[in-house]
Chain A
């Protein structure tokens, strides 16, 4: 069931039960060109509108109508993107520390990760930061006790239950276990500036290893 409400003076939120189609619903809303922003949260989608063009009650009606026209698409899953990863000490400063927390030899951590497919659940926190599911469920990994002021672009972080991609340089508190060898952000791009979208699936290919 979905429920809609006004958020502040220029946004509307549709709250929903955990929904595997939320990114495709958001894409449908974006395609209407009616909203200046369409942002997916954990359990909702928020759209922003210009109240000068569209008064609040008209915006609610529009949104309701657009949602009623949404047709569930066959493939809820996005593209598969392979990202080559550097595991050098400089690019994976916390790999040993993480290996110790999950009681695995350091060289086995990436054996596990490279055999898995991760799904981008959400983008946000910082530009292009991708929250991904797919980390082995029995791995318990804490945040860094001292977050870094700056993490290099391309860094791959990991926590209990999720891993993250830092598309751009920025502050970060996740232990860093590798770094993408290809740029994740292109500021000159005419289409999407990121290598990936929400819902895409990611496979990692650690440098110097064969990937099956």
Chain B
């Protein structure tokens, strides 16, 4: 069992994303950064979408009330086990009573803590992912609070491993995201959208992140008939702030859709935090498919069951 001593800004249980339910209005759900979660799970011998803790912005502590093998992957933060420093991107071991402390995230937004075992969680539509607005999944459908305990069944121990250097990503506070033109981007506005350095606003959560910056004039002057939107969609409602959609975002929207962050780079959206800089790199759909195949092949060598 693990006990939450200090829950921080937002800690939830996350698992698989939903597929095939968007026409009923169900968002993707699941880890905001599914790659980091898959890597953490892999280090403890678990499948890519095994239930794990998603920890936003760090600053938490957790007590292991029983022995565990665990791993942490994601945002940069100081980690310690009973005051002794430990490291991300490798398999770690805890004894009963050990306290893990995670400092504030200094680069990137979310850390994933996976354990070698099955964390107890509520399920719906075949996933354990917490969907906060409707209080579904995870731990009673809500964020974890101080004192909550999560049971788990310990699996047979696995050999300790360390992530290859090129997979344990180190984030900075600026992100370059590969994207394709959205249906409402005019050719004349490409230079502006792909040249601008946007800044993540304070409005940042699992639904999406606000992006402050200069948008094409008239881009946001009218709404259009509601159409499908997805994680990675950059919508521009009236005002100065665009909204880049994440895992829990709604399924349809009527605001101009200027860009779509490509599937190859969508895992990075979960690492954007207020103040970070974002620039978009233009790709055609054909180039995007090549980027995706190359990144997927690279990841698959290490985590065969993870799909971007």
Q: Which A positions have Cβ atoms within 8 angstroms of B?
A: 5-11, 13, 26, 30, 36-44, 46, 48, 50-52, 55-57, 122-129, 153, 167-171, 187-189, 192-194, 198
- Contact yes or no, A169 B133, CB < 8 A: yes
Interface pair B228/A13, CB less than 8 Å apart: yes
Q: Are A42 and B250 in contact (CB under 8 A)?
A: no
| Chain B nearest CB, measured from A157 CB (Å) | 14
Interface-lining segment among B67-75, B91-99, B289-297: B289-297
Q: Which of B186-220 contact A (CB under 8 A)?
A: none
Residue numbers of B with Cβ under 8 A of A are 19-27, 123-125, 131, 133-136, 179-180, 182-183, 225-228, 230, 232-233, 250-252, 260, 262-264, 283, 285-286, 288-289, 292-293, 296, 307
- Given A42-B227, A124-B25, 16 more pairs with CB closer than 8 A: A8-B180, A9-B180, A9-B262, A9-B263, A11-B260, A30-B23, A41-B225, A41-B227, A48-B22, A51-B263, A56-B286, A124-B252, A126-B250, A127-B21, A128-B24, A167-B25
A125 to B20 alpha-carbon distance, docked (Å): 16
Task: Name the contact of A42 in the complex, choosing from B23, B25, B123, B226 (C-beta under 8 A).
Answer: B226
Once A39-B251, A127-B26, A127-B27 are accepted as A-B contacts, the answer to whether A11 and B228 lie under 8 Å apart by CB is yes
Flag if A127 contacts B24 (CB, 8 Å): yes
- Residues of chain A contacted by B233 (CB below 8 angstroms): 8
User: Given A39-B251, A51-B289, A56-B285: A13 and B134 within 8 A (CB)?
Assistant: no
Q: In the complex, are the beta carbons of A193 and B125 less than 8 A apart? A: yes
Q: In the complex, what residue of chain B is closest to A38 when comparing beta carbons?
A: B23
Inter-chain CA distance A170–B124, complex, in Å, is 16
Task: Please give, as numbers and ranges, the residues of chain A lying within 8 Å of B136 by CB-CB distance.
Answer: 168, 187
- Decide: B25 and A129 in contact? CB cutoff 8 A: yes
Task: Check if B227 sits within 8 Å of A52, measured CB to CB.
Answer: no
With both chains docked as a complex, state the minimum distance between the C-beta of B65 and any C-beta of chain A, in angstroms.
29
A9 touches B134 (CB 8 A): no
Complex Cα–Cα for A50 and B232 (A): 15
Task: Please report the C-alpha to C-alpha distance between residue A180 and residue B27 in the assembled complex, in whole angstroms.
Answer: 23
A188 to B137, CA, bound (A): 12
Q: Is the interface of B mostly helix, strand, loop or mixed?
A: mixed
Contact of B292 with A40 in the complex, beta carbons under 8 Å: no
Contacts of B293 in A (CB 8 A): 51-52
Q: Is the CB of A52 within 8 A of B296?
A: yes
Asked if residues A55 and B25 are in contact (CB atoms below 8 Å), the reply is no
- Say yes or no: B263 contacts A124, CB within 8 Å: no
- List of B residues within 8 angstroms of A41 by Cβ: 225-228, 252
Given contacts A13-B227, A126-B134, A127-B24, contact A55 B286 (CB under 8 A): yes
Which has the most chain A C-beta neighbours within 10 Å: B134, B232, B262, B307? B134
Residues of chain B with a CB closer than 8 A to A46's CB: 227-228
A40: B residues at CB distance < 8 A: 23
Q: When chains A and B are docked, how far (Å) is the Cα of A6 from the Cα of B307?
A: 22
Could you say which residues of chain A place their CB within 8 Å of the CB of B289? Answer: 9, 51-52, 55-56
The answer to whether B23 and A187 touch across the interface, beta carbons within 8 angstroms, is no
In the assembly, what is the distance between CA of A167 and CA of B131, in Å? 14
Residue of A nearest to B250 (CB): A125
CA–CA, A60 to B230, complex, Å?
A: 19
Top 5 closest pairs, chain A to chain B, by CB: A8-B260, A187-B124, A9-B288, A42-B225, A41-B227
Taking a contact as CB atoms closer than 8 A, the residue among A9, A37, A56, A194 that contacts B20 in the complex is A37
Give which listed residue, A8, A36, A42, A169, contacts B135 with CB less than 8 A. A169
